[in-house]
């Protein structure tokens, strides 16, 4: 199962959907890595202008996966990947929209 669903709305817009609804789309190491790579690949497509981030299920994103973050063998990797994901989003030349639902 893919943790990030990719849907091209049109040549300029790509929707990336966090796909861990059973865990309220909590940012696990695997999800953060897959999302970061999906953003980078979207940026490489010169026709793309917009990335829309969505969450599968009733919750957009619960935040960091606290099970992994509290595991001393994974905490550092989780923190580094979260910082890398944030940097990738913030420095993206594309418009990034979070389609948060209540």
Please give the chain's pLDDT, 102 residues, in tens: 899 999 999 999 999 999 999 999 999 999 999 999 999 999 999 999 999 999 999 999 999 999 999 999 999 999 999 999 999 999 999 999 999 986
Residue 36 and residue 81 in contact, taking contact as beta carbons nearer than 8 Å: yes
pLDDT for res 101: 83
> For the whole model, what pTM was predicted?
0.95
Q: Is-contact 17 56, C-beta < 8 A?
A: yes
The predicted pLDDT at position 102 comes to: 65
């Amino acid at each position: 199962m893919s943790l990030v669903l990719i849907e091209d709305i049109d040549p300029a817009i790509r929707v990336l959907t966090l796909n861990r609804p059973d865990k309220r789309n909590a940012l696990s190491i695997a999800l953060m890595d897959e999302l970061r790579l999906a953003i980078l690949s979207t940026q490489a497509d010169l026709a793309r202008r917009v990335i829309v981030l969505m969450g599968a299920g009733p919750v957009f994103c619960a935040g960091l996966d606290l099970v992994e973050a509290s595991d001393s063998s994974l905490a550092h990797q989780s923190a580094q990947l979260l910082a890398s994901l944030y940097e990738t989003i913030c420095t993206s030349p594309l418009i990034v929209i979070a389609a948060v639902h209540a």
